[in-house]
Chains A and B, each alone.
Chain A
């Protein structure tokens, strides 16, 4: 595993194609999109001043 003394690596052996073993593991994890909508008093103020339509697009 050490990197020392490895300068003799045959560069031709190192291709420019990404091998299949590079693929990240298949282990999905749910990552729901969060809401950043304003809440409470701010939503009320926005309603009063006519800017309530500004919402977060998911």
Chain B
């Protein structure tokens, strides 16, 4: 089958499944509701259920399309002609681990068959961070002897944040390089991966950007390790599905990707949107837009999930996750301004819409729950004798089976992809890299349980984020906290008391007005009421447990081991530099 027809078939399948699932769910819901009489709330619920179910089905479709293994690309040994720069944007990061990452990659690339420079692009503004970066730059330079290959530049005004930081480098130095590998402050990549990426982009003159699938590493808390396991175990299949649908308009996730400098410079100069934040101003979630602009200019943007050796770190607690989500939510909702931009490819527009949907879908679920409750609460009592002269009563038809069918269908859409991926991992031996089959099965079940427990909490956080953005509140760009993120119950309560209140009010109101629905609501309201305890408990350390083990925990990748060794080697110096390094407010402006 021709590649174009194959792509069209896959995309049709990916879109048809959500349409059918959403339509089917709405039909079942309306049939169930019609038993007691249809209220306006029933139609609102049906509309919201259509969209919510379609979103779930989209995820299921991605997993189905990604299930079968990809044909491996033959590694190339062709000599590399082009010159590459590795860009590491930082903003008030803890400099020692950040510079140790650069040190590890410089060391790993020492004998690589490629000319690779490094540039640390600082947007730091805290004096202690600036002093720390200077200290560690000098230390790094002295140890590596990489004069002329290791650069450091700090902007005094961080216009455009990370995107502006990188753009400033391209405008000043872009012509010195053929390719730029864009990293984040917490990124690490194996030398073999970097060289292979250079070879792949050099081999395809139409390729403007090549994205890897970063593996989350170094998580220690219950939450962090659960997310890390889920990302390592499930994401490769979802990413493969996405890659099969992308055509020439693949994704860019902002880091751990290589770009062709001339393509990037020609196509990715971001404008500032008119009006104030949150919808105007600098484009916050710039990566999706940059991918769309490259594709619009005729360049291929590609995700190669087979590229291993690409690492990043993730949030260690639900609160850190929610903070990051708040930024992404604002950035993705801002994309509503960009969806209609002239000349974008259809799939790029689709990607922008899907990004918006990721944050709007939880609001749809919350809206569905509320309108369904209102529907039940406002139903008139059944009229058993609609005709005053009738002798026998007319009982409403029992449509409970349809409600149960609907419930099973939705739960199936949630669980089915993960079960299929578990089977895929078992059949392809991928599972063994995660540990013994029993441990991995327990990890998968624990992930299902934990994700079910925290789903209502995430729904509450995301819904609040959407409403904050819609009412014009600019979330700014609070820094990430990396590393230890232990949260106490009181700290958690300060962050989530709004959902505890909503949960309690919902519980008492539904118990009073519609007690028959209470068992259906407890799985949603219960975690919201217990959120402070769940957030605190999941921030506890779970280091070393066989549950949620990942291949990178079981066998430390070379580049991570070297990073650790260098940091340990720098231990004394790190203590000496402690006064010059920040201990709070660390984080990228953008990751």
A residues near B, CB below 8 A?
Answer: 1-4, 6-7, 9, 11, 13-19, 21-40, 42-43, 54-58
Contacts and interface: CB of A to CB of B under 8 A. Distances in A.
B271 A29 contact: no
Nearest to B135: A16
B110 A2 contact: yes
In this complex, the interface size class of chain B, counting residues with CB under 8 Å from chain A, is 35 or more
Main secondary structure of the interface of B (DSSP, over half): helix
B262 A29 contact: yes
Contact of A7 (B154, B275, B569): B569
A11 B573 contact: yes
A13 to B, nearest CB: 7
Given A27-B176, A30-B265, A57-B273, A3 B103 contact: yes
Nearest to A7: B569
B569 A39 contact: no
B534 interface: no
Main secondary structure of the interface of A (DSSP, over half): loop
Interface in B163-183: 167, 169-177
29 contacts: A1-B106, A1-B107, A3-B143, A4-B565, A7-B573, A9-B139, A9-B573, A11-B139, A11-B576, A18-B154, A19-B141, A24-B151, A24-B153, A24-B173, A25-B173, A27-B172, A28-B171, A32-B266, A35-B341, A36-B273, A36-B337, A36-B338, A38-B340, A38-B342, A39-B342, A40-B342, A56-B271, A56-B272, A57-B271
A38 B271 CA distance: 13
Contact of A31 (B142, B152, B170): B170
A24 to B, nearest CB: 5
B222 interface: no
Nearest to A5: B569
B269 A31 contact: yes
Across the A-B interface, the 10 shortest Cβ-Cβ residue pairs: A39-B342, A29-B174, A27-B176, A38-B340, A27-B175, A14-B138, A42-B340, A36-B341, A25-B176, A22-B152
A24 B138 contact: no
Given A22-B151, A24-B151, A36-B271, A29 B170 contact: yes
A31 B139 contact: no
B144 interface: yes
B204 interface: no
A36 B286 CA distance: 13
A2 B107 contact: yes
A46 to B, nearest CB: 8
Interface string B29-62: 0000000000000000000000000000000000
B374 interface: no
B341 A9 contact: no
A50 to B, nearest CB: 16
Contact of B107 (A3, A16, A17, A37): A3
A22 to B, nearest CB: 4
Contacts of B267: 34
Given A7-B569, A33-B269, A37-B342, 9 more contacts: A1-B144, A9-B139, A18-B134, A29-B170, A29-B262, A32-B269, A35-B342, A42-B340, A56-B271
A33 B139 CA distance: 37
B388 interface: no
B423 to A, nearest CB: 43
Given A29-B265, A33-B269, A6 B274 contact: no
A34 B171 contact: no
Contact of A38 (B131, B146, B148, B341): B341
Given A14-B135, A29-B261, A39-B341, A3 B174 contact: no
A26 B172 CA distance: 6
B274 A13 contact: no
B137 interface: yes
A56 B170 CA distance: 22
B511 interface: no
A14 B576 CA distance: 12
A56 to B, nearest CB: 5
Contacts of B343: 39
A25 B337 CA distance: 36
Given A19-B138, A29-B262, A6 B143 contact: yes
Interface string B527-541: 000000000000000
B172 to A, nearest CB: 6
A2 B103 CA distance: 9
Contact of A55 (B138, B269, B274, B573): B274
A46 B535 CA distance: 45
B270 interface: yes
A6 B137 CA distance: 15
B572 interface: yes
Contacts of A1: 106-107, 110, 144-146
Contacts of A16: 131, 134-135, 138, 580
B268 interface: yes
Contacts of A57: 271-274
Contacts of B275: 54
A28 B172 CA distance: 4
Contacts of A27: 172-177
A40 B343 CA distance: 9
Contacts of A14: 135, 138-139, 142
B83 to A, nearest CB: 10
Nearest to B136: A14
B422 interface: no
Nearest to B139: A14
Nearest to B337: A36
Interface string B105-130: 01100100000000100000000000
A24 B569 contact: no
A6 B580 contact: no
A49 to B, nearest CB: 13
A57 B223 CA distance: 42
Contacts of B103: 3
